């Protein structure tokens, strides 16, 4: 009987290709050992929990923290109708006729996150998610960089740095 090595290899290779992975499947332990905490998590069974809505309690007799505010009305309105302006000393002219220039503080902008990824630039300012070209109050987000954002408005621009 004549042995043909090429025919023999052609018949043997498919069987070897099936038998070797099956042998590994049965004889090699593929399950890693679990710690006690992992075993406890595996045994966890979820239980349905009934939730109830919280009861809203009315608040009475709250005083306004701003001194000089009008008292609450008879209808129970505890909010003042008008907040007091700047202190009189800040608005009054200085002795000698020269008026003191008062600078009103503008809004405070806090940059908390900048995300830059393949042409996408996102910034979070005062908790608001913004992209370039979007508005934030009276400002427009003109440019977002790695650690700062440029805001442009009618009175000029300002840079908000990452905190």
Q: Which pLDDT tens digit goes with each residue over 39-59? A: 888 887 878 888 778 777 776
The mean pLDDT value for 73-100 works out to 54
Residues 55-66 have pLDDT tens digits of: 777 766 666 665
> What are the residue ranges spanned by the domains of the chain?
111-161
What would the two tokens of residue 153 be? 């408005």
Binned at pLDDT 50, 70 and 90, residue 33 comes out as: confident
Examine the pLDDT at 77 and tell me if it is beyond 70.
no
pLDDT score of 83: 47
pLDDT score of 159: 92
d(CA 128, CA 142): 15
Examine the pLDDT at 28 and tell me if it is beyond 90.
no
pTM of the shown model: 0.38
């Amino acid at each position: 009987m004549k042995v043909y090595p090429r025919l023999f290899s052609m018949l043997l290779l498919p069987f070897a290709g099936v038998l070797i992975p099956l042998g590994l499947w049965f004889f090699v332990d593929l399950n890693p050992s679990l710690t006690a905490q992992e075993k406890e998590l595996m045994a966890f069974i979820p239980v349905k929990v009934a939730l109830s809505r919280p009861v809203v309690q009315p608040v009475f007799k709250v005083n306004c923290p701003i001194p000089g505010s009008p008292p609450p009305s008879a209808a129970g309105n505890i909010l003042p109708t008008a907040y007091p302006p700047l202190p009189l000393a800040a608005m009054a002219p200085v002795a000698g006729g020269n008026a003191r220039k008062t600078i009103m503080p503008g809004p405070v902008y806090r940059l908390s996150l900048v995300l830059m990824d393949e042409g996408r630039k996102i910034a979070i300012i005062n908790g608001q998610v913004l992209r370039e070209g979007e508005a934030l109050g009276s400002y427009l987000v003109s440019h977002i960089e790695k650690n700062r954002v440029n805001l442009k408005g009618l009175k000029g621009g300002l840079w908000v740095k990452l905190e």
